[in-house]
Structure 1
Amino acid sequence: MIKSKKNTLSIIFIVWVLLTFASLIRLYRSSFYFVNETIFLINLTVYLSLLLWWAYTILKRTGNHQTRYYLLGIVGLIVFWLFVRSVKYQPFNDIDLVARHLWYAYYIPMILIPVLSFYLSLNLGQPENYTIPKIYYWLYVPALVLIGAVLSNDLHQQAFAFQDNFVSWSNKYSYRIFFYLTIIWIVVLSLASLRILFKKSFQAHTRRKLWVPLIVIVVGLAYVIYYAIDNSRTGGGFYEATVAYSVFVIAFWESCMQSGLLPTNTKYKKFFNASNLQIMLVDYQGTTHYQSQKMMDLNTYQIMEVLREHVIPVDKNTLLKSKSIHGGHVLWLEDITKLQTIIDQLQQVRLQLSNEVDLLQQEVETKAKIVHLQHENYLLDTILDQVEPHLAKIKSHLDELETAKPLVKHQLLIKINILGAYIKRRSNLSLAYESQQQVHLHDITNSFNESLSMLDSLAVESALLFQKELALTLRQALLMYDMFQTVLETLYLDLSKVVVSLSHLDHQFIYGFHLETHHSMNHDLRWYLFENKLRNTYQDIVIEHESDHVFHINFKFKAGHDDA
């Protein structure tokens, strides 16, 4: 603990020295352009290096990706702020229009940093997959309005009012409505962030350290007041306001991380050292990052084996287990001595009762076979009931074949084939998927193709347009096949083209037919009866007449495991 505090104080001292150095050399002005440019680059390099270093520590210390995102967003805005400030005073200081708009650009980070800070406070204490409510993203709208108002100030001067022709614009100006709205925006969001942050700091160990971010706030307010009173180039005023404000923003969030208000992963090593658990954390490659003192040392082979198998025995009474976590795996040892004792006792009991168990097992197996046979008989009876009307049709058509003329006989044979293919394929689907959640799409496709192949002798063009990787239940598949059978069985002699499609959109399946016939069907009694049958059988079915011999049939039903 003492060593950690010394390291923190050392880092604070080094950062203070670098900031003071950069602020002091900024005050020096030489008659040589090269010297001034060198000072400018050194100054900018110091600031950017410190910011990039802090961004790197954020990546290393924060585990919550939302927290990391908002903190890095704040760093990016500060980098933009310092860069704009730097180029305003060096290359573009004498170009009034450019320098003035670079000055306006200061307000981009000034307006957006409070927004990201507010989002960061909302994310505090939330699970890793938490996302803030979308309503809060509307805060970007007034933020962008304020930014647009400041950046376009030259057109309306409602943020800063200047003299005519912008004479002495950097010194002689007054504040207008958009400036005050910007200040109110910054103050309100900052106070809201602080309120949420401190309200969520309910843990006792965190409350004891609240003084750390509070000191940063007090010092920051004191600096703002002092800078407003004395903005001289000596004393405290030589720390430029832009740099000072950036430092206070970073210092505040750093103090929140140091005090525990903002969780970090820097204390994992201490936790593992103090833990009585036999546990370790490794990354996806098996490299050890944290290991408790009581955890046995593992070689690379053991680590990779347990990552692959999840559980491996170390000895008779110890198991090594693993579980995937975000970023890697956790490994731990589990003592199974008591369990092993119970197992040994059970083995003795098992030997004593082996004969009884064998008899019971045979009885159970016999009962299971009986139940299985009863279930199969029930399933076959159910399928037979479903296809019995079609079997009766086949029998009737076979009787008609004896007296039918050649053409009619050919037509009857085709219809018998259509009925036979339907009975075969429907029975196969029912038997194969009776106890499964989903039906494989290729089995449905094969069923449709076999039925369509019965139309080959009639020169009917056919096609299946089924979207890949669709998940259908057995009931949905049978519903589709039954509707398809109704179409083929009724119109097989009239069809010249049939296209069957199945697609998925907005949690619904869209099942459709494109039908083309040899002749007009609008006044055909069979079509009228066929259309009424479809409408009465399937609710919400849509039947469209593109022309006298082109028709579209569409039917929608819910995707997933819901009933169609």
Structure 2
Amino acid sequence: MTEQKKNTIIISGIAVLAVILAYCFRIIGRGSFYPMLFSYLRSFIYIGLFAAWGLSVRQRIVQKQVCRFMTVTAVLLIIWMVVRSAKYFIFWQPDAVRYLWYLFYLPMLFVPMLALLIAMSLGKPDEYKFPKGMSILWIISGVLLLLVLTNDLHQFVFTFPKDAAVWTDKNNGYSVGYFISVGWQVLCALTALVIMFFKCREKGRLHFLPIVPMLLAIVYSALYYAGVDWLLHLFGDIAAFQSVMYILTFEFCIACGYIHSNSRYVDLFASSVGTSAEITDKDFNVRYAAVNTAPISKETMKKAEQSPVTMGGLTVHTMPIDGGYAVWTEDVSALRDIKENSELLADELADRNEILRYEYKREAKRRKVEEQNRLYDLLRSVTQTQIDRIAELTKEYRRISSTDPDSAKTLLAEIAVLCSYIKRRKHLTLLTDRDIKIAATELLRAFNESLQTLKLLGVRNSLYVDESLSMLSSKTATAVFDFYESVIEADILNLTGIQVSLIKANGLRLSLNVCCKADLSALVSGDGIRYEKEDDEEYQRLVFEAKEGDRK
């Protein structure tokens, strides 16, 4: 016989002896030999027994919600015994005795309901919460209890003779509410057992054992309220009898596996093959061990309490639990081999990564150079005409700078205008290459800079920009600026005035009023450019309409 079974038999024997002793005190207390003393002792035995059962439940039951409900059940049974003792041995006033009798229905109504909640909680995770609709169980039990406690107002549960001077549980009858309360108790209890039966995965020979104490409780209640003399004489204490039956029902549910507990460690470890787990007491004495577990010294266990200890290919782990420690070993030999192979592979991969990193840097450098060359060629191609013109002007400036200072200043002013265009055109080219939207202020700065340099040539100018312009396509902005530059370069030396207007009209519209000698009508090409000139006016007007995405 295992130590676990011995402990179970001893505890069960103590509980049975306590009940027998309490029954003997009941027989003795009915005589004249210190009846009050033995009655109190009997109550103390039951209260202590129920309290001990509640404490054991808190240690044995695994699921938190089930443990909480069973603990509340133990508390209700203790309250029942306290109320019962107060009714028979403390209070003698008829009204107080009657209301204490009504309070019997607090545990009688709520313990079966808690059994139903326990059944529905089985198999659920610890954080599981009942749906809001389940509150109907509490409401029904609460309403029935309220009907009992207010029975003096309506007599819907218990009835009393109209000519009775005192209402007691000796001369009462039963009304509809009483049978509803009893039916509710029986319904909750039977439903709980049915749910537990279908939820239990392992059904053994004693699977129907929990029904025995429940049937005894139902039969007892029927005989008790029928007033059977021999039952009242031998087992007249309904509070004690029903409480013991409730506890027996829950204990049989635990024994049959309906309610999971942590009291079957011996069976668990006896069936554990291929593991190396042990449970020890606080002094590291082994209490339970899996089959074929290699022995571990106490010194090693104590060291593993601080941090895992590796011995050969095994690592010993220790974790504190209630009353002792859980000790297990982990075979790390395969992991050690994998680690060594991984380190070799890591070194090889590190060498390969170094080579790949070098090749990547070279490739990145090559691509960077190619991209720089591409951008350089792109920038040079769009401004090559101006660059060549600046080269010619620079050569001419060197030739006449000392002999003709006025003409040299004009050459410098023309060079400044061309440089301003090159600077802004390259900026717009980079934005166009990335094909992004630009703010209208970018184009405004380009026109302002160009017009400022035109003042060096004595060109009167003005600029108007529609305030509604915000974001522009970079291609559209480039096309507009290129057209503007082609106009001023058409006759830059004879240019005396220019008015620039940018408005938003079905795209972007550039209007130029230009005062110069050359005929600018040659610049008209395509439908997007219009040319206007009055015979009596000195200004020529060109309108360039650029749609989104247009390019010169």
* Superposition TM-score tier, normalisation by shorter sequence: 0.5 to 0.7
Alignment partner of 2:357 out of 351, 365, 380: 365
- Give the corresponding residue for 2:17: 17
- CA distance in structure 2 between the aligned counterparts of 1:6 and 1:269, rounded to whole angstroms: 12
Instruction: Answer yes or no: is 1:261 the counterpart of 2:258.
Output: yes
Query: Cα distance 1:288–1:60, how it changes in 2: closer, same or farther (>3 A)?
Result: farther
Q: Which structure 2 residue ranges, 5 or more long, are not aligned? A: 372-429, 450-552
Instruction: Answer yes or no: is 1:237 the counterpart of 2:234.
Output: yes
- CA distance in structure 2 between the aligned counterparts of 1:386 and 1:98, rounded to whole angstroms: 91
- Tell me by how many angstroms 1:231 deviates: 4.4
- Give the corresponding residue for 1:73: 72
Query: Cα distance 1:220–1:358, how it changes in 2: closer, same or farther (>3 A)?
Result: closer
- Give the corresponding residue for 2:531: none
- Give the corresponding residue for 1:135: 133
* Matches for 1:146-185 after TM superposition, within 5 Å: 146-164=144-162, 166-167=165-166, 169-185=168-184
Alignment partner of 2:205 out of 205, 208, 233: 208
- TM-score normalised to the size of structure 1? 0.57
Name the SS for the 1:209 alignment partner: coil
- Give the corresponding residue for 2:403: none
* Matches for 1:409-420 after TM superposition, within 5 Å: none
Name the SS for the 2:156 alignment partner: coil
- CA distance in structure 2 between the aligned counterparts of 1:212 and 1:134, rounded to whole angstroms: 33
Alignment partner of 2:269 out of 252, 269, 272: 272
- TM-score normalised to the size of structure 2? 0.58
- Tell me by how many angstroms 1:5 deviates: 5.2
Name the SS for the 2:173 alignment partner: strand
Q: Is the 1:227–1:237 contact (alpha carbons within 8 Å) kept by the matching residues of 2?
A: no
- Give the corresponding residue for 1:335: 331
Instruction: Tell which deviates more after alignment, 75-84 or 211-220.
Output: 211-220
Q: Map Cα deviations across residues 168-226 of structure 1 (whole Å, 9 max, x no partner).
A: 532222211221211121121112111101111232xx333214213323433443455
Alignment partner of 2:315 out of 314, 319, 331: 319
Q: Is the 1:318–1:336 contact (alpha carbons within 8 Å) kept by the matching residues of 2?
A: yes
- Give the corresponding residue for 2:108: 110
Q: Is the 1:279–1:295 contact (alpha carbons within 8 Å) kept by the matching residues of 2?
A: no
- CA distance in structure 1 between the aligned counterparts of 2:11 and 2:188, rounded to whole angstroms: 30
Q: Map Cα deviations across residues 447-470 of structure 1 (whole Å, 9 max, x no partner).
A: xxxxxxxxxxxxxxxxxxxxxxxx
Query: Cα distance 1:74–1:263, how it changes in 2: closer, same or farther (>3 A)?
Result: same
Q: Which amino acid aligns with 1:64?
A: Q
Alignment partner of 1:122 out of 120, 123, 127: 120
- CA distance in structure 1 between the aligned counterparts of 2:81 and 2:363, rounded to whole angstroms: 79
Q: Is the 2:317–2:329 contact (alpha carbons within 8 Å) kept by the matching residues of 1?
A: yes
- CA distance in structure 1 between the aligned counterparts of 2:180 and 2:227, rounded to whole angstroms: 25
Query: Cα distance 1:123–1:283, how it changes in 2: closer, same or farther (>3 A)?
Result: farther
Instruction: Tell which deviates more after alignment, 324-333 or 272-281.
Output: 324-333
Name the SS for the 2:263 alignment partner: coil
How many corresponding residue pairs? 382
Percent sequence identity is 23
Q: CA RMSD in A?
A: 4.6
* Matches for 1:267-416 after TM superposition, within 5 Å: 267-276=264-273, 277-280=275-278, 291-292=289-290, 294-297=293-296, 299=298, 313-315=310-312, 317-320=313-316, 332-340=328-336, 357=349, 359-366=351-358
- Tell me by how many angstroms 1:385 deviates: 11
Q: Map Cα deviations across residues 410-445 of structure 1 (whole Å, 9 max, x no partner).
A: xxxxxxxxxxxxxxxxxxxxxxxxxxxxxxxxxxxx
Q: Which structure 1 residue ranges, 5 or more long, are not aligned? A: 400-564
- Give the corresponding residue for 1:192: 191
- Tell me by how many angstroms 1:136 deviates: 1.1
Q: Map Cα deviations across residues 259-307 of structure 1 (whole Å, 9 max, x no partner).
A: 2211110112442355331124689999988554615425577666576
Name the SS for the 1:263 alignment partner: coil
